[in-house]
Amino acid sequence: MKTTTNFKAAIILSVMASIMVACSSNKKPIATDTATEVAGSEVDFKIEKSGAQLWGEVCNRCHIAPSPADYNDTDWETISLHMRVRANLTEEEITKIESFLKSAN
């Protein structure tokens, strides 16, 4: 069982390392700055992504994306919170998508 234990340790360590990398790169604006220099247009493009575009990219990943007209505003609020948690979406993504869905129904 020695190999299993080593393997276990390796996986747990790599998981922890990824969390740390993720958290630190999220806090350091420097990372974004360098990215802006290297691929400025791409980053600008990302910042300007609209709710409609995010809806097209994000809501198709697991099931076919529903259209704005499928639900009313109240239901979109419930669904957005549900999907934010179930699909583990970022706050930015869900806020933009929710306002798009509510504005276009």
Partner 1 sequence: MTLIILGLGSSALAQTYNTFEPSKTQFMLRGYGHTGFEYLDTGGEQESTFLGATFAPIFLYKHSDKLMFEAELEFELEGNELKTGLEYADVMYVLNKHMTVRAGKFLLPFGTFMERLHPAWINRLPSRPLGFGHDGIAPASDIGVELRGAFDLGGPKLNYAVYVTNGPRIKDGSEEPEEAGMLDFGYYEDVNLAKALGGRIGLLPLSDSSMEWGISAYTTNSTGAEDSDYKDVGAFLWALDLSYVKSITPLQGVVDIKAQYNSSNVDTATYYEIEDGISEPYSFDNQSSSFYTQLSYRPIMSGSDFMKQLEFVGRYSDFNAPEGAEWEEKSTQYAFGLNYWLSWRSVVKFSYQTTKMEGGHDSDGTTRTNGLFVHWAIGF
**Residues making contact with partner 1 (CB under 8 A):** 1, 4, 8, 11-12, 14-15, 18-19, 22-23, 25-26, 31-32, 35, 42-43, 46, 57-58, 60-67, 70, 73-75, 77-79, 81-82, 84-93
Residue 60 CB, shortest distance to ligand HEC, in Å, is 8
Instruction: Tell me if 55 sits within 8 A of 97, measured CB to CB.
Output: yes
- The whole-angstrom separation of Cα 48 and Cα 58 is 16
How far is CA 14 from each of CA 21, 27, 29, rounded to the nearest angstrom?
10, 20, 24
Residue 50 CB, shortest distance to ligand HEC, in Å, is 14
C-beta of 44 vs 92, nearer to ligand HEC:
92
| Per-position x/- string for 75-104, each x denoting binding to ligand HEC as judged by CB under 6 A, each - no binding | ----x--xx--xx---------x-------
Instruction: Tell me if 59 sits within 8 A of 82, measured CB to CB.
Output: no
C-beta of 89 vs 101, nearer to partner 1:
89
- Name the percent of the chain in helix, strand, coil, to the closest 5: 80, 0, 20
Q: What is the residue type of 37?
A: E
